Amino acid sequence: MAPHLTHMDLERARLLYEPGDRVDVVYFPHDGVISMMTLMENGAAIESATIGREGAVGLSSAVAPRHSLSRAIVQTPCRCSRIGSSQLHDAWEKSPRIREMVDRHAEALLGHTTQSAACNALHSVEARFCRWLLTCHDRIPTDTVALTQEFLADMLGVQRTTVTAVARALQDKGLIRYRRGIVDIVDREGLQSAACECYEVVRRHYERLLPETPPAETARS
């Protein structure tokens, strides 16, 4: 794959795919967050999965031509590698190791999206917000998350006023510092206590299927 990989920086809010787009390029994030958003006909959206350095966006196109089912959008600035899906398919055909990793990634992502569906339906906005912050924190090299209220509202499927209220409540508890568009994680252990069970379920799922993923602490050091 190496001769076909190119490296680039992805800015926040960059749109990679819309639903129905042919997946011609696969992105491997190194140090940021890309969200997969499920869209409704009325324009409403909610996040179904978060992808960082443990995975890739569009990886299923290694097996056969694909069209995106979701909107893929960059949530935090990141460096990434990219490769054409046809070139990745050639590598997939030649390498049993790549085929195995694509299968493992597909299973991990399916588990992630399945858990997200249950989480979005059953858990409080505050617990889901804590889960999302932890998921993001695992994938970036800093304790500061730069996100607009609009992005957070879309990810959680709520109004922007609700995002503000929840963020201020977490700040009052000493878990984060919040200012418009910026969240500083102050107490990670506290966030883990306040998050729903889904954070640990998904984390363990990825660790089992993709055990070579480096821990967040190593990546930030």
Q: What pLDDT is attached to residue 212?
A: 64
**Locate tokens 């409080």: which residue?**
124
Average pLDDT of the chain to the nearest whole number: 91
Q: How far apart are CA 65 and CA 60, in angstroms?
A: 8
pLDDT in tens, 199-212: 999 999 999 998 86
Determine whether domain 121-220 maps to CATH 2.70.180.20: no
Query: Who contacts 195 (Cβ-Cβ below 8 Å, separation ≥6)?
Result: 127, 130, 131, 134
Nearest to 186 by CA among 132, 144, 215: 144
Strand order in the sheet with 71-76: 15-17, 71-76, 33-39, 45-51
For 2-97, CATH gives 2.60.120.10
Q: What pLDDT is attached to residue 46?
A: 87
Stretch(es) of the chain classified as CATH 2.60.120.10: 2-97
Q: State yes or no: pLDDT of 25 exceeds 90.
A: yes
Query: Who contacts 27 (Cβ-Cβ below 8 Å, separation ≥6)?
Result: 10, 16, 34, 56, 57, 58, 72, 80, 81, 82
CB 33 within 8 A of CB 53: no
Q: What tokens does 165 get?
A: 């209220």
Least confident of 49-58, 141-150, 190-199, 210-219: 210-219
Stretch(es) of the chain classified as CATH 1.10.10.10: 121-220
pLDDT in tens, 126-141: 999 999 999 999 999 8
Nearest to 115 by CA among 47, 164, 169, 165: 47
**Locate tokens 């959680």: which residue?**
156
Which spans in the chain are helix H? 85-94, 96-122, 125-137, 149-156, 160-172, 188-194, 198-209, 216-220
Nearest to 34 by CA among 19, 8, 16, 9: 16
Average pLDDT, stretch 116-128?
94
Q: State yes or no: pLDDT of 215 exceeds 70.
A: no
pTM: 0.88
